[in-house]
Structure 1
Amino acid sequence: MRALLLAVVSLTLFAGCSARFLQPYHVESPRVAAPRTTVADLLDAVPAPVDPVVVAVYRFRDQTGQYRALENLSTFSTSVTQGATSILMRALEQSGFFVPIEREGLSNLLNERQIISSTRQQYTGPEGEGLGPLPPLLYAGVLLEGGIVGYDSNVLTGGAGARLLGAGGSGQFRQDQVTVYLRAVSVQNGRVLKSVYTTKTLISQKLDGGLFRFVDTDALLETEAGYSTNEPPVLAVTAAIEEAVIALVVEGSRDGLWAFQGPNDSNTQDFLSAYDARAAEDASRDLYDRAPLDASSDGLAVGLSAGIGRIESDYASPGIQPVGAVSLDYPIGNGVSVGVRGEGGLIDVNGTGERFGAGALTLRSRLVPSAQTSPTFTVGLGGLFSPDVPNSPSSYLYATALAGIESRIRPSLGLFLEAGVDYPFYEGLDGLQGSGSVNDNIWVGRGGFVFYTSF
């Protein structure tokens, strides 16, 4: 009963803290121009032109034709916003470099002007004078065309989770990508003056956890909590369009289509330098918006790791024991390296922790060599030693196979997790040589560091 009371109190506190942390239900007031995209400040910093460029946008539309994908449900909701023209007009105005004129609602504009003209012809002013004609419409020398040409779903997906004795949690993520093209066309001759394109990724994440356990003989506790975050597609489209406007300003100025008011001013030079640095960084990223890893200078790699191991023994319910390893690997090309690995620790033999050690020649592969974070796979062959286990041979020929993931947090330092099996080629590691039915494999899970040198 005490356990049940403790579980109920814990669940109540957890639920209360979750509501306080997430706050999903409350009324929000409207916000003006919020939230801003990450590109909005850069758009505000666009230097002033010699003469603002008058541009016309008839329709900047969604050209993907994609509908939003939902599991077990058909929907006619589009993947991206259909109001991209309004977003582009706002970005052009915000830059201060362009003067956008209304063309999407041109029929409405012409109708209203026709009403005004007819009214002026029928009526006179307060003193009987005639009302003059309307001033002419402003026309553009540059026409902006293009649209949202791509929305790629599930470009990158993944997740991880664990559950033990009814308690656990999991996390998932998904990355989508939107692509925008924008081109400037000369109204005089129809020539495409400049064409630019930008891409923007969208991240969706989900975390959850739960507990399912008997807290008493007739009492079952079940609880779960979680949350997810989804980057709004309209903000991603807005950021991509704003970046396209900035690119059009810079690239057009360098082609002599228009000019900055103070091309040699420090503000203008800082703006151009920041754009070049950003463009160079973007150009170095791969399809998945990841900076490629330059491993050309990698030499000897030293790995240190620690973790847990569990022998698959003929004794009942062997326990978990600490294990560790050290490795030396030398690259031979394309993410593949050869090396040596030494490992050791304790194994549970009939309730007693007994020492073991092993050494092997290994072949290790980073499956995506150019990625900062890559899956890894290691195989090896060597000798395993268990000097303290009674009635067990002192040495074994064994093979090892490990799968994991490694992330380079610095050019010379990586973090990794790996799990796998040490497989003796004959039975008897637990001291029951010749009488056991299990081959006494050792399952291991480790985490640690890899130090990369240049020699």
Structure 2
Amino acid sequence: MKFYQSSLYLGFLFLLSSCGAYFNQPVAPSQSRIGETTSKTETLKNLPQPEEPVVVGVYNFKDQTGQYKSVENGSTFSTAVPQGATTMLIKALEDSKWFTPIERENLSNLLNERNIIRSTRQEYTGDNNGQPNLPPLLYAGILLEGGIISYDSNIITGGYGARYFGTGGSTQYRQDRITIYLRAVSTSNGKILKTVYVSKTILSQALDASLFKYVKFQRLLEVETGITKNEPIQLAIQNAIENAVESLIIEGIEDNLWSTKDGDETNEALVSLYNERKREEENTLLYNRKQAQSVMNHSIAISGNGPVLNADFSKKTLGGGAGIKYSYKASPKFDIGLKGDYLYFTGGESFNKSYVSSNFQIGYTILPLDNLTPYIYGGVGGIFDLDSPEEELTEDTSGLNLQYGIALKYNINPHLAFFVGAENNHTNKDTIDNVVNGVRDDFYYNFNIGLEWRFGKNIK
């Protein structure tokens, strides 16, 4: 009992220590500060210098979702996302040093102010002769268009918790998702030069722990603590916009729209690193499901076995053994194979015996491109006695073997996977344990853990 209580207390402390915000709770008003940066801000600032900054205009990079903030009761007129995305985009363009953004969002204000300057000069001087002209406005060679096109709430929710004798804790989480598009348009001919698309998840978490316990007669101890943390939407949008600007710059380099100051060698290195990251991100589905880039059509698996003989003994123990399997994938999901196992059965007071089994199997991989996938299989074959000489046998202890099982595979890389599994094996003999009792044939469970090596042709 003390062991379980100690474990729960340790888990309680771990729950608290897992959230850094818990130990930085606000207890007093704070002063204004320079705005927070994101992980992409430094990346933008550290990009190589451009050969020549590009003059760009941004008229409106707006919220195109039309969504209002959801509330549990009633209605609200607050929008789901901030309406200042144009300002965030201009700041990201400025940070990158690759663009010279010009004022276009409030162009009418700029033109009115220039007219005021001209009229004031004329009014106080009588005429404009001899007065310097206002410098001409810059014009953009490229327009940046697009906006926030999607805000999806609660794309995944979940949590977990445990409680034992009044002591426990729980956590809940929720993910939202925001998506933006950014495109570059040539002002000389209206051609769309490049379009990039970026999405960003927004995480909300809640952690809580509680203790409800009688410490002595009529003395009740009750303790509760918790914290809820919501990722700011503004920082999520800022991160997505900065990522889009970085992608636009590097994809523009790849398409020879512009270049770095250092020339081709720097261009190629920058594009190569970006394409590697892009391939990895394109192979990651929603909910952060990473996808394999290849599936090989041959594999060899080796495993350690832990068989449990379920026969006529009341005492059932875990034995040992090893196995090897060759598989051929007819498709990314279906495979056929041959499997051989060495099985050392134990049970009863002193029973131990060695068998080998050989089976033809058909398997099905449920998520063949995911890093973590369930795998189900079934097969038929035989099980053969290794210990008893044939002339000493009064009953045939070898027989047919029908098996089915499930495994969980984790792909370490395209060529190597780790797996754990469990299977059920039915025989047509009641003599596997050298005892005949009742009408039910002997069967056994087999637990295994091992590695699978893949090779051959890519069939993705």
Scaled by the length of structure 1, what TM-score is found?
0.70
Taking the aligned partners of 1:324 and 1:334, their CA distance within structure 2 comes to: 31
Determine the C-alpha separation between the residues in 2 that align with 1:447 and 1:165. 35
Does 1:412 pair with 2:409? no
Where do 1:381-396 residues align within 5 Å? 381-384=380-383, 394-396=397-399
Deviations 1:24-45 (A, max 9, x none): 1424777645443247415531
257 and 384 in structure 1: CA distance in 2 versus 1, 3 angstrom threshold:
closer
Whether the aligned pair in 2 keeps the contact of 1:407 and 1:416 (CA below 8 Å) is yes
2:432–2:442 Cα contact (<8 Å) kept: yes
- In the alignment, the residues of structure 2 paired with residue 393 and residue 68 of structure 1 have an alpha-carbon distance, to the nearest angstrom, of 74
When structure 1 is superposed on structure 2, of 135-144 and 426-435 the one drifting more is 426-435
Q: Any idea what SS the aligned residue of 2:298 has?
A: coil
CA contact (8 A) 1:347 1:356 kept: no
Q: Distance in 1 between the 2:163 and 2:353 partners?
A: 29
**Equivalences for 1:230-245 in 2 at 5 Å?**
234-245=234-245
CA contact (8 A) 1:204 1:228 kept: no
Counterpart contact for 2:88–2:241, Cα < 8 Å: yes
Determine if the alignment matches structure 1 residue 99 to structure 2 residue 100.
yes
How many angstroms apart in 2 are the aligned matches of 1:353 and 1:164? 40
> Could you say if the C-alpha distance between residues 247 and 154 of structure 1 is closer, same or farther in structure 2, counting changes exceeding 3 Å?
same
Answer whether contact 1:88 1:242 (CA < 8 A) is retained: yes
Gaps of at least 5 residues in structure 1 are 125-129
Matched residue, 1:376: 375
Which shifted more, 378-387 or 172-181? 172-181
Q: SS where residue 448 of structure 1 aligns?
A: strand
How far apart, in 2, do the equivalents of 1:421 and 1:58 lie? 66
Change beyond 3 A, Cα 1:395–1:35: farther
* CA-to-aligned-CA distance 1:94-141 (integer Å, 9 cap, x gap): 1112111233344555666677777777779xxxxx998865554433
> Is the Cα contact below 8 Å between 1:375 and 1:405 reproduced in 2?
yes
Q: Which residue identity is paired with 1:95?
A: S
Aligned-partner residue type, residue 26 of structure 1: N
* Inter-partner Cα distance in structure 1 for 2:226 and 2:406: 29
Q: Which residue of 1 aligns with 2:55?
A: 54
Which of 445, 448, 459 aligns to 1:446? It is 448
Conserved in 1, the CA contact under 8 Å of 2:159 and 2:172?
A: yes
Distance 1:205 1:378, change over 3 A: farther
The C-alpha deviation readout for 1:164-210, integer Å capped at 9, x for no partner, is 99999999998876543222223355x13412213345386989999
Q: 1:397 to 1:152 in 2, by over 3 A?
A: farther
CA contact (8 A) 1:428 1:434 kept: no
CA contact (8 A) 2:178 2:202 kept: no
For residues 160 and 450 of structure 2, the distance between their equivalents in structure 1, rounded to whole angstroms, comes to 18
* Aligned pairs (5 A) from 1:398-437: 398-424=401-427, 431=435, 433-434=437-438
Aligned in 2, Cα 1:116/1:92: closer, same or farther, shift over 3 Å?
Answer: same
Secondary structure (helix, strand or coil) at the match of 2:24 reads coil
Alpha-carbon distance in 2 for matches of 1:148, 1:448: 47
Distance 2:256 2:50 in 1: 15
- Cα distance in 2 between the residues matched to 1:56 and 1:332: 54
Residues 74-93 of structure 1: pairs in structure 2 closer than 5 A: 81-93=82-94
In 1, the alpha carbon distance for the partners of 2:225 and 2:383 equals 45
Q: 2:326 aligns with which of 325, 329, 348?
A: 329
Question: Letter of the aligned partner of 2:382 in structure 1?
Answer: G
Please report how far the alpha carbon of residue 362 of structure 1 lies from its aligned counterpart in structure 2 after TM superposition: 1.5
Change (3 A) 1:323 1:112: farther
Distance 1:354 1:340 in 2: 23
SS in 2 for 1:103: coil
Query: Distance between the aligned counterparts of 2:207 and 2:385, measured in 1?
Result: 42
- Give the structure 2 partner of residue 148 of structure 1: 148
Q: 1:209 to 1:330 in 2, by over 3 A?
A: farther
Which letter does structure 2 place at the counterpart of 1:55? V
Q: Secondary structure, in 3 states, of the residue corresponding to 1:334?
A: coil
Work out the CA distance in 2 between the residues paired with 1:342 and 1:170: 43
Residues 148 and 178, structure 1, Cα contact 8 Å, conserved in 2: yes
**Deviation sequence 1:138-166 (CA, Å, 0-9, x none):** 44332211123345678789999999999
Q: Alpha-carbon deviation of 1:65?
A: 4.4
What corresponds to 1:127 in structure 2? none
Cα distance in 1 between the residues matched to 2:67 and 2:443: 51
Contact 2:424–2:445 at 8 Å: present in 1 too?
yes
1:44 aligns with 2:46: yes
Q: 1:379 to 1:169 in 2, by over 3 A?
A: farther
d(CA) in 1 for partners of 2:88, 2:397? 74
Deviation, structure 1 residue 93 = 0.6
Asked whether the equivalents of residues 200 and 236 of structure 2 are also in contact (C-alpha less than 8 Å), the reply is yes
Question: 1:342 Cα deviation (Å)?
Answer: 1.3
Which piece of structure 1 moves more, 160-169 or 32-41? Answer: 160-169
Q: Is the Cα contact below 8 Å between 1:198 and 1:243 reproduced in 2?
A: no
TM-fit CA distance, 1:333: 1.8
Alpha-carbon distance change, 347 to 109 in structure 1, aligned in 2, over 3 angstroms: farther
Contact 1:308–1:323 (Cα < 8 Å) also in 2: yes
**Please, what TM-score do these two structures have when normalized by structure 2?**
0.69
2:391 match: none
The one-letter amino acid paired with 2:408 is I
CA contact (8 A) 1:56 1:102 kept: yes
Percentage identity across paired residues of the two chains: 33
Task: Give SS of 1:451's match.
Answer: strand
User: Is this contact kept in 2: 1:196–1:244, CA < 8 A?
Assistant: no
CA distance in 2: counterparts of 1:271 and 1:432, whole angstroms: 73
CA contact (8 A) 1:156 1:176 kept: yes
Residue 301 of structure 2: aligned partner: 302
Given that 1:101 and 1:138 are in contact with CA atoms closer than 8 Å, whether structure 2 keeps it comes out as yes
CA shift at 1:400, angstroms?
1.6
- Residue type matched to 1:199 in 2? V
Q: Is the 8 A contact 2:409 2:417 kept in 1?
A: yes
Cα offsets for 1:301-355 (capped at 9, x unmatched): 122134575849894xx65624554131231421313112315244554x76655
Separation of aligned partners in 1, 2:289 and 2:366:
18
Letter of the 1:329 partner, please give it.
Y
* TM superposition shift of 1:392: 9.3
Counterpart position of 1:340: 339
Aligned to 2:263: 263
1:333-386 per-residue CA deviation (whole Å, 9 max, x = no partner) reads 21313112315244554x766556452222223333344433211111123468
